[in-house]
Amino acid sequence: MKVLLVEDSIASLQVTQRFVEDAGHSVITARDGEQGIQQFLTHNPDLVLLDVNMPNMDGYQCAQRIRENCQQGNLWIPIIFLSAEITEDAIVKGIDSGGDDYLPKPVTQRVLSAKLRAMSRIADMRKELEEASARLKLLSSIDGLTQLYNRRHFDEVLELEWSRAERTQEPLSLILCDIDHFKAFNDNYGHVAGDDALVRTSQTIMHTLQRPTDLAARYGGEEFAIILPATPTVGAMVVAEQMRKAMDALAIPHDYSNASNIVSMSIGVSSYYPAQANSSFVALLDAADRGLYRAKKNGRNRIEMQPL
């Protein structure tokens, strides 16, 4: 467990620090409230031991500031006050300011060790809950069949990347692709084969992308979308052609495709350059969709670039 110890008395700080370290925990120290807040923000400790009586900013004020930062990050970190005077009024004030417990000073090793064991159990539970919450958040963003990101997450990221492109003045490209004649494939080969084709297509798209910043999503049914940050049109066209060729190389039989007798892909590409006026991420999506429509109209298994 990582413990933040805020104590203005050097003697008390050294004794308490030794007790905490002897109990097997690491210690970050601060000599006043302002420094304590900075150390909290820098190190994200599992527990705060906070002296009440300090100059400039007392422990109650420091606890309130720490709690404000906890709320912004959706975190709960236990705070234990250290004080030579523990009265009913002090306990109420401490709880109202965001504290969780009191330890009388001078601190004894036996009592402090017991408190640390209790708080360590709480810290372990908090980490388990945070990990479970992160897993649930990831699952809510993933398409269950293809394991690509889902439409909701795609929409969120596209808006964020659009804003980033406006800040950095770098181009943003978008690819929309669709499996050709997929309904005929499903109708004639069955939904199990259709699901397998979707999974293999998703894997092919992921293997084509080279950068961790690129994002692939299942946009709907048999349609996929790829966000390419900091990528001009020429780069997006290269990626799109690599995807199209990789799809052909899979050579999934499709005798009902009216063309190549394998599962193929039609692709629309569009790019946003920050100098363009009166544009939006919705317009970029619409342009890529119009490119995809032209690719299908012009024979399928091809790429069409559609300007904004």
pLDDT of 39 > 90? The answer is yes
- Cα distance between residue 177 and residue 292, in whole Å: 7
Summarised one tens digit per residue, pLDDT across range 168-209 is 999 999 999 999 999 999 999 999 999 999 999 999 999 999
Q: What is the structure's pLDDT at 174?
A: 98
State which H helix or E strand residue 160 sits in: helix 151-168
Sign (positive or negative) of CA dihedral 162, 163, 168, 169: positive
pLDDT at position 244 over 90? yes
Q: What is the mean pLDDT of residues 34-50?
A: 92
The CA-CA-CA angle for residues 306, 307, 308, to 5°, reads 120
The Cα–Cα gap between 148 and 226 comes to 10
**CA dist 262 → 3, 247, 259 (Å):** 61, 9, 8
List the one residue out of 169, 188, 295, 172 whose CA is nearest residue 241: 295
In angstroms, how far is the first alpha carbon of the chain from the final one? 53
| pLDDT digits 0-9 by tens, 248-293 | 999 999 998 766 789 999 999 999 998 876 788 999 999 999 999 9
Please tell me the predicted confidence (pLDDT) of residue 139. 75
Q: What percent of the chain has pLDDT over 70?
A: 97
74 pLDDT exceeds 60? Answer: no
**3-17 per-position pLDDT tens digit:** 999 999 999 999 999
* Residue 138 pLDDT greater than 80, yes or no: no
Name all domains of the chain by residue range, CATH numbers in brackets: 2-132 (3.40.50.2300), 151-305 (3.30.70.270)
Pick 192 or 70 by higher pLDDT.
192
**Burial of 34 by CB count in 10 Å (0-12 exposed, 13-18 middle, 19+ buried)?**
middle
Of all residues in the chain, what percent carry a pLDDT higher than 90? 74
Residue 126 confidence class, pLDDT cut points 50, 70, 90: confident
pLDDT tens across 43-65, in order?
Answer: 989 899 999 999 889 999 999 99
